[in-house]
Structure 1
Amino acid sequence: MAPRAPELSVASRPRAELAVGEVRLTVERFLLTANNRTYVTLGDSAGYWTPFPAPEGYGRVPAWGFAVVSESAHPDIAVGSRYFGLLPMSTDLVVSPEVVPGGFRDASPHRDRLDEYYRQYRSADTNGGEGGEPNVEASLRVLAWTVYPSSLVLAHELRTFGAAAVVLSSASSKTALGIAERLRRFGIRTHGMTSLANVDFVRGFGVYDSVSTYDDPAGVGDPDGPVDTVFVDITRNVDVIAAVHHRLGGRLLRSVLFGGTHGGGSAAPGTLPGPTPEPLFVPERRAVLRQRIGEEAYTRELAEGQELFLALAARSMRVDDRVGPDAARDALSEVLAGPQAPDVVTVVRPQPS
């Protein structure tokens, strides 16, 4: 039996007074992608409802975006300051900031057990959010700031594996595009797998060395070649994983599971040729990367990469701008229904500017 689709609703509640040390963030805009489908699908089992408490039986869906401080009872957080981080699909959010270099972490008790990645808010005062940018550019910046951190971490991780080539499924996904862009600059060959409908977009984005469709497993490479390829599955589709392993099993160094654009499930095939598919937890590897290359190098590389990715997105993608709570609900419903057009960037502004 298929799982019951979640019931989406718009609700309101009175604003609570701020306690000493708290800050109210007004949400400016956030991105909706397949990640949000994963948050909803795995909300209970993976703890995605934890960051933003809701009444019993409900969940506030997390999304990545920009917010501005509209009210502050914290001595070091000024009204008007902008930040980027994990936000609820809501008009506002109360946090308990603990100031750290480059921003703050939310020290609210209900977020204590979350990984730092989901608690940190990065200062965006000089670059991002509204900040005087045209609406389209500001919305594309939400995409770059949301997607590229994971892409950067994954690309570095693949590099440490010693891969000469990387095969990525769901090649049209924003994260996969970011990974391929970074791997290209590392000098690592990339091959993208996608649906027939998305082939032209994926090739046109210009970050893959080669592209094939899911129904052409021979396109992923020569099974008799050297053992130098890493497979990154972003679909979590057992048929896709099996097809790649049966084609390249003997030359796969590693097989990595990340994301779930074809449904967000956690299953993997049983016995397969080649290495056992292994999940990769980005926040954990992000901490390792920052320690390995240093905070300054990480911050510089991230900022440069985000700007490059923003430029690529501006050339190849279009913004679907939704405004208001009802529009947010409708946009999420569409994301939950299945894959969206790869060239569309869905950004929600929960209230008019």
Structure 2
Amino acid sequence: MPAAWTFAVARDDLARTTLVDGPVPEPADGEVLLRVDRVGLTANNVTYAVLGESMRYWEFFPPEPRGLAAGQGLVPLWGFAEVAVSTVQGIDTGQRLYGYLPPASHLVVRPVRVDATGFRDGAPHRAELPSPYNAYRLTTGDPAYRGDQEDLLILFRPLFFTSFMLADQLLDNDCHGATQLLLSSASSKTAYAAAFELRGRGPRLIGLTSAGNVAFTESLGCYDRVVSYDDVTALDVVPTVYLDLSGAPATRAAVRTHFGDRLVRDVAVGLTNQVPNAGAAGEVFFAPTQMRKRTTDWGRDGLDHRFSDAWHRFASAAAGWVDVETGHGPEALRAAWLDALAGRTPPRTGSVVQL
């Protein structure tokens, strides 16, 4: 096997990066070695880094066993990996799976709850972390998987899961009685996927975006109206839920001033720049909370069925909304990270890296 490598960032300066080589890990009994194959980089990954301390994202892939210095962190990614070595019955070499992966060539996991759909990583350091991030789905047991849609799954699936759960929570609560939903960062994948799910099922959908992204956002057909951030005051003052995906304090201030007591909810949904927005919002949306509720309501199979149906509807449309740019190797991963961090990735571009 070739040498392993790991890409890390400084937690206190996310633009300062490190690439280190090392030996390929050897799995112990009860462990499986995954070879990370293909991953995506979006604003969602920047969110993981910005909120790494408060939301414990840094803890999923500890840097210590990888020869990294203190203060460095591994930004979690989503993508596909293959089983390189297995010591676990029911998991075979060569199987392909989708899940939460490090920016590295390899990952050792300790599978538990192994079945035909996949497994969960039962590594002790992940036991107290949010469980949805610990699931690894085998492509052979995943109703959402199609081989010709791997890049769409890489780029959109984790975002679409948030969007799907956000739309579901809003509909589950009758959209809090609002007559319009206002989404900031409307050109972002999470925002327009949520709008896709909500379109025609309740309140009017208004997208807020930068002036340069208005035309792209309108072209999606997900919103009833798209306006630039400077035009908030042109919106009707009616009962409104603000879904903040931008984290921009000036936008929140403008929305609160304009809508006043007609702003019935102010909800933080991640962020797409480096200004944490959770503290200033009225509430924070966390997809795993709604997922747990729906797992209780519908059962795991029921949730999987509803999600996969929604995903296939969305993927058919999203294929025409994104231009996939594929890089190769760790240096391409570094470049894609720095572009996403600096906000240089156009909304129509999807960055995928073949490792």
Match of 2:266 in 1: 255
Is 1:318 aligned to residue 323 of structure 2? Answer: yes
1:166 shift after superposition: 1.1
1:79 shift after superposition: 1.6
Change (3 A) 1:128 1:32: farther
2-side partners of 1:189 and 1:288: how far apart? 26
The counterpart of 2:305, out of the listed 267, 275, 300, is 300
Match of 1:161 in 2: 173
Aligned length: 335
2-side partners of 1:186 and 1:298: how far apart? 19
Match of 1:43 in 2: 52
- What TM-score do the two structures reach when normalised by structure 1? 0.88
1:127 shift after superposition: 6.1
Change (3 A) 1:119 1:126: closer
Q: Decide whether the 8 Å contact of 1:49 with 1:59 is kept in 2.
A: yes
Match of 1:62 in 2: 76
The counterpart of 1:16, out of the listed 10, 16, 25, is 25
Change (3 A) 1:10 1:192: same
What's the secondary structure of 2:205's corresponding residue?
strand
Matches within 5 A, 1:277-292: 277-292=282-297
1:46 shift after superposition: 2.8
Moved over 4 A (4+): 126-132
Match of 1:120 in 2: 135
1-side partners of 2:27 and 2:299: how far apart? 36
The counterpart of 2:110, out of the listed 86, 96, 99, is 96
Give the structure with the larger strand fraction.
2
Q: Decide whether the 8 Å contact of 2:268 with 2:278 is kept in 1.
A: no
1-side partners of 2:236 and 2:194: how far apart? 22
Change (3 A) 1:42 1:144: closer
Give the residue type in structure 2 aligned to 1:40.
A
1-side partners of 2:190 and 2:183: how far apart? 10
1:130 shift after superposition: 10
The counterpart of 2:100, out of the listed 86, 91, 100, is 86
- What TM-score do the two structures reach when normalised by structure 2? 0.88
Give the residue type in structure 1 aligned to 2:188.
S
Q: Decide whether the 8 Å contact of 1:98 with 1:106 is kept in 2.
A: yes
Instruction: Give the gaps of 5 or more residues in structure 2.
Output: 1-11
1:128 shift after superposition: 9.3
What is the aligned-residue identity percentage?
A: 37
2-side partners of 1:111 and 1:6: how far apart? 26
CA RMSD of aligned residues (A): 2.1
Matches within 5 A, 1:222-241: 222-223=236-237, 225=238, 227=239, 229-241=240-252
1-side partners of 2:143 and 2:319: how far apart? 15
1-side partners of 2:305 and 2:144: how far apart? 19
1:251 shift after superposition: 1.9
2-side partners of 1:5 and 1:98: how far apart? 33
What's the secondary structure of 1:186's corresponding residue?
coil
The counterpart of 2:89, out of the listed 68, 72, 75, is 75
